[in-house]
Amino acid sequence: MRGVVFYDPEQEKQNSNRTITIFDTTLRDGEQTPGVTIPFDKKIEIASQLDKLGVDAIEAGFPISSPGDKESVKRIAELGLHADVCGLARSVIKDIDACIDCDVDMVHVFIPTSDVQREYTIKKTREEALNTAVEMVEYIKSHGFKCMFSPMDATRTDFDYLVEIIKAVKAAGCDIVNVPDTVGVMVPSSTYELICNLKKNADIKYDIHCHNDFGLANANSITAVEAGADQVQVTVNGIGERAGNASLAEVVMALTSIYGFKTNINTEYLTETSKMVEKYSGIKMPPMMPVCGDNAFSHESGIHSQGVLAKSDTFEPGVMTPEMVGQKRRIVLGKHAGRHAVLQNLEAVGIRPTEDQLNEILTKIKEIGDRGKTVTDADLFVVASVVLGKK
């Protein structure tokens, strides 16, 4: 056991027998973030990085949406990655053909199934939408491709109709069904119930795709896995439409470090990947972003700094260390700084103040912090040399 005392150890043992696959849609749903266009060569770099990270599938784009998207999906499919490369398609033949032209491994085909989306977007009856979905899945399978089907807006779709369409696409040869919470209206308890009931009524592999409109995308994705979903769709840094998608790093670390599930992710590359996507998407992440944010393993207050310097688990989760995710622990000096933190930073460069000198340095550090400044190493060394310089 890894010591998360609030989580059921028996359940954790069972979880450790399940490997949850990670479907990354940074280059498709992530690129749908308003105002984001990732340049062609950067998409290729991101795809290679995602492969190094160990994701199981990469949704490389929506080939019919633009010639540029089609070109990049094609190039990514040619890279010979370990991950499956997937292209998105509406339930129309020309979209699927565009994916096939790119020679992807998998086609992800979707059709709106909630009444509101079906009536106001594709203007088809329930029966017409079901028949179209079946035809599309049969078409994809007849060309020898893996097929993922998404009943779009599944979480606002009439349950009986949802089961009917899933059973129909399963019979048509569909490999996996994605359950999109397209407008992010689920909560963990409703997600749990939905996935359990779907599994009971239509037995197929399930994937979950959560949007973050109420800030619940990560929690809902994790709960879907607890309920039996086999795969999660995520984006790096949680970028995506409106409030974004579930975040790869946060979902993976919670699934593995708290619940004890297995994934194929090489977690030590999470921060490197996050920084790359931050740079190429132009979407700056807040320092307090969990896992990969600059403050995720930073400590300023004297009590916390002294604690983690003595034993890191005191003020960190313990089951997730900075090294596990490619981060470093930082002791930040500011108005909350304590003696241990200042002394450690000084001793690290061979400066050994007396008790009185240390007290004086600490007072000056707190004065700088009170002026609203973070104390940089340069500030500390200027202060230390002034204090140590006077006799």
Question: Where along the sequence are the contacts to ligand KIV (CB under 6 A)?
Answer: 29, 110, 150, 152, 178, 180, 182, 209, 211
From the CA atom positions of the chain, what is the Rg in Å? Answer: 25
CB of 226 to ligand KIV, least distance (A): 21
Could you tell which of ligand KIV, Zn ion, none binds residue 170, using a CB distance below 5 to 8 A set by kind?
none
Rounded CA-CA distance 329/325 in Å is: 11
Choosing from 24, 29, 59, 181, the residue that interacts with Zn ion (CB under 5 A) is 29
Which residue's C-beta sits nearest to Zn ion? Answer: 29
Q: Which candidate, 134, 222, 201, 147, places its Cα nearest to that of 178? A: 147
Instruction: Show the CA angle centred on residue 289, arms to residues 287 and 293, nearest 5°.
Output: 55
Beta strand 231-234 with 21-24: parallel, antiparallel or unpaired?
parallel
Interface stretch with Zn ion, choices 22-30, 47-55, 93-101, 305-313 (CB under 5 A): 22-30
CB of 93 to Zn ion, least distance (A): 23
CB of 118 to ligand KIV, least distance (A): 13
Neighbours of 344 (CB within 10 A): 13
Residue with smaller CB distance to Zn ion, 29 or 316: 29
Helix count (H) and strand count (E) of the chain?
15, 10
* DSSP for 29-65, written as a single string: TGGGSTT----HHHHHHHHHHHHHHT-SEEEEE-GGG
What size, in residues, is the chain? 391
Residue with smaller CB distance to ligand KIV, 209 or 366: 209
Residue with smaller CB distance to ligand KIV, 157 or 345: 157
Contact between 250 and Zn ion by CB under 5 A: the answer reads: no
Residue with smaller CB distance to ligand KIV, 243 or 351: 243
Residue with smaller CB distance to ligand KIV, 110 or 206: 110
CB of 212 to Zn ion, least distance (A): 10
* 8 A C-beta contact, residue 144 and residue 103: no
Which residues sit at the interface with Zn ion, rule CB under 5 A? Answer: 29
